[in-house]
Structure 1
């Protein structure tokens, strides 16, 4: 079920890229339009500020790198043009086999989703997602993939993706919608600790680690403590603290009843 060496080699270039919705808030706070950045701009922002991007950024960036390495790829997704939008990438192997690549949800590595391959299985598998196992299913007669996440505590969640390629014009239009939408700050980051790949997440002003032991919650900080949050996020991602603070203050400002921390720009 694991991808070929050439696909994994490109994937590994993003091992230290968090999925985050901070960069778009920081970009908007500087007067930039809420639109999808080019790969060149994303690369420059990463060199200067250690930033990465949301699922649209990472999908576009990953496809660009696949293209540079002669690997065919295309975007897929669900709930486009809504707050629930999410996109991933399909990479095509040398023999035409297809692999699901989801940097937005910080998968550990791509997974085979081609029922015509003898290696494809619908068993529960370790090593693809953090803090649990994954089961990939391809329902007969439907061009879609269903993923079931099985956590150590027995909790089960599901996600379904249409495998129909998104036209690039539509992808960019949906990306522009996403980049203009500020709901709440979110950061997800894979890291290795205690001989396993773990998942750190900052979501709705809480932070926690998902691992084989379950969910480990970190100490609580208030929403307005953007300076302290910035230090915590910087330690996990390497993003510049001034960028993080400006982004968090932008989110605080658009949330009802919240005051922006003064003197942090």
Structure 2
């Protein structure tokens, strides 16, 4: 179920890229009419401020890197044009087998979704998603993933795996970048003991998801304290974080 070295080589460039809506708000208020950033601008923001982006940003950036590295890949997604929109990428190995590459949900590694492949297994697998074992199966809309948590809870998600043409995808991305919610969100993968865990900041709370269970962080009161905590997890520019978080605070007054 593990992808080829060629896919992993590109994927691993993004190991320390969070998924977040902080950059989205910051750029939305920056005055540009076009809200979906080009990959070249994303690279500049990453270099200057340490920022990454939301699921559409990450999918477009990953597609660009796959193209540079000679790996065939295309965009996929579901609920495009709505508040529930989600974007990901399908990459093909040398045999033409498809692998789901989802930076938006902070997967640890791409996973095989072709159930007829000789490498496919319907077992619950560790090492692909933080703090959960995953099980891949076919669905009438594409692929269904089951997430088995340490506490016994099981959730599932359906991925529409049909290729989306780039014009349609870019329109959906632009639409998504115009949808501004009142609650800040950031998710990232960080080392914890012998695993890579999932840290999340949402609506002024943060917690770590591990195979040992959920660990809530102490609450913080000030924007400056939150900026310091987020910077410690992501390396984002603290001054920019304070600016973004102050904006979120002002919208909730």
Partner residue, 1:231: 228
Partner residue, 1:182: 180
Report the number of matched residues.
252
Counterpart pick for 1:163 among 161, 179, 193: 161
| CA distance, structure 2, for counterparts of residue 241 and residue 98 of structure 1 | 39
Relative to structure 2, which stretch is displaced further, 79-88 or 7-16? 79-88
| CA distance, structure 2, for counterparts of residue 74 and residue 121 of structure 1 | 24
Partner residue, 1:199: 198
| CA distance, structure 2, for counterparts of residue 215 and residue 113 of structure 1 | 28
Partner residue, 1:173: 171
Q: CA deviation at 1:212?
A: 0.7
Is 1:23 aligned with 2:23?
A: yes
Q: Does the CA-based 8 Å contact 1:52-1:58 persist in structure 2?
A: yes
Partner residue, 1:261: none
| CA distance, structure 2, for counterparts of residue 98 and residue 248 of structure 1 | 39
Paired residue secondary structure (1:128): strand
| CA distance, structure 2, for counterparts of residue 17 and residue 180 of structure 1 | 22
| CA distance, structure 1, for counterparts of residue 224 and residue 31 of structure 2 | 22
Partner residue, 2:213: 214
TM-score, with length taken from structure 2: 0.96
Q: CA deviation at 1:219?
A: 0.7
Q: Does the CA-based 8 Å contact 2:131-2:197 persist in structure 1?
A: yes
Q: CA deviation at 1:180?
A: 1.4
Distance of aligned partners of 1:166 and 1:254 in 2 relative to their CA distance in 1, 3 Å threshold? farther
Paired residue secondary structure (1:90): strand
TM-score, with length taken from structure 1: 0.92
Q: CA deviation at 1:254?
A: 2.8
| CA distance, structure 2, for counterparts of residue 87 and residue 38 of structure 1 | 16
| CA distance, structure 2, for counterparts of residue 220 and residue 3 of structure 1 | 39
Partner residue, 1:152: 150
Q: CA deviation at 1:34?
A: 5.6
Relative to structure 2, which stretch is displaced further, 106-115 or 25-34? 25-34
Q: Does the CA-based 8 Å contact 1:88-1:103 persist in structure 2?
A: yes
Question: What RMSD in Å do the two structures reach over aligned CA positions?
Answer: 1.1
Paired residue secondary structure (1:148): strand
| CA distance, structure 2, for counterparts of residue 182 and residue 249 of structure 1 | 15
What are the ranges of 5 or more consecutive residues in structure 1 without an aligned counterpart?
A: 259-265
**How do 1:53-202 and structure 2 match up within 5 A?**
53-139=53-139, 142-183=140-181, 184-202=183-201
| CA distance, structure 2, for counterparts of residue 169 and residue 160 of structure 1 | 23
Q: Does the CA-based 8 Å contact 2:188-2:199 persist in structure 1?
A: yes
Q: CA deviation at 1:250?
A: 2.1
Paired residue secondary structure (1:33): coil
| CA distance, structure 1, for counterparts of residue 248 and residue 179 of structure 2 | 11
Q: Does the CA-based 8 Å contact 1:191-1:199 persist in structure 2?
A: yes
Paired residue secondary structure (2:152): coil
Paired residue secondary structure (2:146): strand
What are the ranges of 5 or more consecutive residues in structure 2 without an aligned counterpart?
A: none
Poorly superposed stretches of 4+, deviation over 3 Å:
none
